[in-house]
Amino acid sequence: MNKLTTFLLALLGLNVNTACSQEPSTDVDVFQTKTGKSVRFQALMHASIRITYDGLEFQIDPVRQLGERTTDYASMPKADYLIVTHEHRDHFDKAALEQLTAADTRLITNARCAEMAGRGEVMANGDSLQLAEGITVEAVPAYNNTEGHTQFHPRGRDNGYVLTLDGLRIYIAGDTEDIPEMADLRDIDIAFLPCNQPYTMTTEQLQRAALVIKPRVLFPYHYSQTDVSKLPSQLQAEGIDVRIRHYE
């Protein structure tokens, strides 16, 4: 990262530290909110993200195993908030949810996943919740709009989310293409955008989405075998800091 980019991110309150000695630096990123609180992102796999903030644990689409990759959720703290985008097995894992659930854990999801889990607070596209002081979550559309692909993620069924932590706005897109509703997103600091056709976006679609959303930091995720290695250089001129982590 060049000095100018580092300076600009510092002005925006985005700390570029990568944390800790026990984990690979490429798997953990730490940012600062407007009041100086730390938000820590850990790349677990594919679409599974662990977020820690102000003593709280957020788990996004926790899944224990995909192929030969595994995540040991039993060794992690119980979640305060479980956030699930949709029902596909690389996003919804009932056993993982159970491992992460304590008496006061809140599960935020769409209608189908709440039915499958037997519980949960249902959000539909356009809904918003205030989870705690300074913490909100908004459900936004996530769907396929390419002809021949719409059966994978039909419009209106699944959620993406905008999670706001003390003013830091985080867009977790879920499984989606570059849909028109992305133009309605505002002031996104950090975006997680999926990249693996036919289920989500091509790299070209992801670039178009990034130019519409204009996040300060972009994590391609859910990319499986798609080559995303050129995205940092392709979006550098737009002032978007693209970080490749282990979200295969």
pLDDT digits (tens, 9 = 90+) for 26-49: 599 999 999 999 999 999 999 999
- What is the identity of the amino acid at 230? K
- Angle, CA of 46, 52 and 56, to the nearest 5°: 130
Query: Helices (DSSP H) in 101-213: which residue ranges?
Result: 111-117, 203-213
Q: Which CATH architecture has domain 3-242?
A: 4-Layer Sandwich (3.60)
Longest dimension (CA), the chain: 50
CB contact at 8 A, 100 and 73: yes
Q: Could you say which DSSP state residue 183 is in?
A: G
Q: Provide the whole-model pTM.
A: 0.89
pLDDT digits (tens, 9 = 90+) for 95-139: 999 999 999 999 999 999 999 999 999 999 999 999 999 999 999
Map out the domains of the chain as residue ranges: 3-242
